[in-house]
A and B are shown apart, each in its own frame.
Chain A
């Protein structure tokens, strides 16, 4: 039983990270019907920027540890959001009226560009987050010891999702984002500047993805230049699982995938951890191709 709760905590931690990354995929798909293949790399850049800010800018030692984490998280969010904005401006906007395939190729190109930029800037080695920013406090819960940072990370991802949900469903701009995702032409007829909405989505999605990258560093310590691929693929699976284009779907899909994967690894076999995730993907594509909350059938790429 103790192990089970432990695994639930682990599953929610990784699930929250998947969910945050999945939101970036699903929001961009919503407004552009495009899979942003560079999203996983923006997530990686978030992890690296976090490390650099902690180590090179000395934020790790000079502030109380949680203050430093919050400060770095906000900076990472801002920086990766700006990068996402630049990506939209340079790689996607010029192709707005081109065929869908051109945009997909541009997305793959952007992904390759980012991966090589990371290699060039930080090199191909593994990096480890400094111990000083990974609080070692252990909280005991139902007689088991859980690192406090896990709760902080779960709390942070849930908080970010709640804020996003509120923004999308309760504000005028959020409603405009939903409208643009349903019918861009009709949204324009409402007087909505759709270009601006798309730009905004490319700030929010990468911002959340960047923070998720930082969270990986804080939770597991180790980061590398290709992590965007594996996490990106899982998060994409989560987005499909919840229903691509659907924001609450990405949240639920991420959490479910994290739990299934972690419990599967613990009780079945750890070697099949990734296989379990993709088995879930295949299953959902067979049983319910629109995903858990999706209404529309996902179009090809």
Chain B
């Protein structure tokens, strides 16, 4: 198991949001977390990256405990995240944003190579490389957020709501790129409101409710599961 959460309790300040979450991601997988608003999906992502208050349990990355590490050290161990709401650095250029994604990478050649790769995945970013990130459209900002997270040479990439607020055609393109990235050897944990799109590319999925995991199954079974269909797939 590459990333493993065991009975994780976490939240913000004094407030506990996750009441014992256990999940795992195997190397090479795309795993999706589904759930309604407020179920704790984003808190789970924040907790893994060290942005939330960790309260108990364990988080292991490649067998090593990372739950008490500061965020920047988690990045150096090969786990990066494209956060909910994109959170690109608005008053920095696209290129500056991407280079910040490679903040922990020292080797200039490696940085240039990943930059070329990102530009081939998202040609739009190359066209707009000198523009302020705040002037990009929502879809372009999402590409930038994903590209930026990939610049850190992650072994595992966390994607929080990559389709939020995007036009359906763009959603499709983003998910196709996510698949391509995965085929390049990057393990992916993805949180999505757009459950259908996420399950289509995922190997496995989890369903969250009220800060707990209530269901775990293969993506195909979840897609055909009547209660999941009713609650999250709009059938």
- For B100, the chain A residues whose CB sits under 8 A away are 175-176, 179, 187, 190, 192
In-complex Cβ contact of B99 among A175, A191, A194, A295 (8 A): A175
Complex contact A172–B91 (CB within 8 A)? no
Q: Does B72 lie at the interface of the complex (its beta carbon under 8 Å from any beta carbon of A)?
A: yes
Identify A189's interface contact among B83, B92, B99, CB under 8 A. B83
What residues on A are CB-neighbors of B92 within 8 Å?
175, 178-179, 182
By the criterion CB–CB under 8 Å, are A183 and B72 in contact?
Answer: no
Q: Is A96 an interface residue (CB 8 A)?
A: no
Digitize B66-80: 1 where CB-to-A-CB distance is under 8 Å, 0 elsewhere.
000011100110001
* A135 beta carbon closer than 8 Å to chain B: no
Cβ B103 vs Cβ A192 within 8 A: yes
Nearest CB in chain A: distance from B93 CB, A? 10
> How long is the Cα–Cα vector from A192 to B71 in the complex, in angstroms?
8
Interface contact B91-A182, CB-CB below 8 Å: yes
B103-145 interface (Cβ within 8 A of A): 103-104
How many residues of chain A are within 8 Å of chain B by beta carbon?
19
Q: Are A191 and B152 in contact (CB under 8 A)?
A: yes
Give chain A residues whose Cβ lies under 8 Å from the Cβ of B6: none
CB distance from A293 to the nearest CB of B (A): 11
Enumerate chain A residues within 8 angstroms of B101, measured Cβ to Cβ. Answer: 190
> Does A132 count as interface, using CB distance less than 8 angstroms?
no
Which residues, 162 to 217 on A, are CB-close (under 8 Å) to B? 172, 175-176, 178-179, 182-183, 185-195
CA distance A187 to B92 in the complex (A): 12
Chain B residues with CB under 8 A of A187: 100
Task: Give the interface size bracket for B toward A.
Answer: 20 to 34
A185 to B75, Cβ gap below 8 A? no
Residue of A nearest to B151 (CB): A190
Chain B residues contacting A178 (CB-CB under 8 Å) are 89, 91-92
* A189 in contact with B80 (CB, 8 Å): yes
A26 to chain B, nearest CB (A): 14
- When C-beta atoms are compared, the residue in chain B nearest to A178 turns out to be B92
Complex: chain A residue closest to B51, CB-CB: A185
* Docked pose: A131 CA to B216 CA in angstroms: 81
Asked whether B90 is an interface residue with its Cβ less than 8 Å from the other chain, the reply is yes
Interface residue from A172, A183, A190 paired with B75 (Cβ < 8 Å): A190
Check B81 for interface membership: any CB of A closer than 8 A. yes
A135, B148: Cα distance in complex, Å: 53
A240 to B100, alpha carbons, bound, how many Å? 28
Instruction: Write the chain B residue with the least CB distance to A183.
Output: B87
Residues B104 and A189 in contact, CB atoms below 8 Å apart: no
Task: State the Cβ distance, B77 to closest chain A Cβ, in Å.
Answer: 10
Q: How far is the CA of A190 from the CA of B92 in the complex (A)?
A: 14
Docked-complex contact A172 and B99, CB < 8 angstroms: yes
**B50 and A190 form a contact (CB under 8 A):** no
Write 24 A-B pairs (CB below 8 A) sorted by A numbering. Answer: A172-B99, A175-B96, A175-B100, A178-B91, A179-B89, A179-B100, A182-B92, A183-B89, A185-B51, A185-B87, A187-B100, A188-B51, A189-B49, A189-B51, A189-B80, A189-B87, A190-B100, A190-B103, A190-B152, A191-B76, A191-B80, A191-B104, A192-B72, A195-B70
Chain A to chain B: the 5 pairs with minimum beta-carbon distance, closest first? A191-B75, A188-B71, A191-B104, A186-B87, A193-B72
Identify the B interface with A (CB < 8 A). Answer: 49-51, 70-72, 75-76, 80-81, 83, 87-92, 96, 99-101, 103-104, 148-149, 152
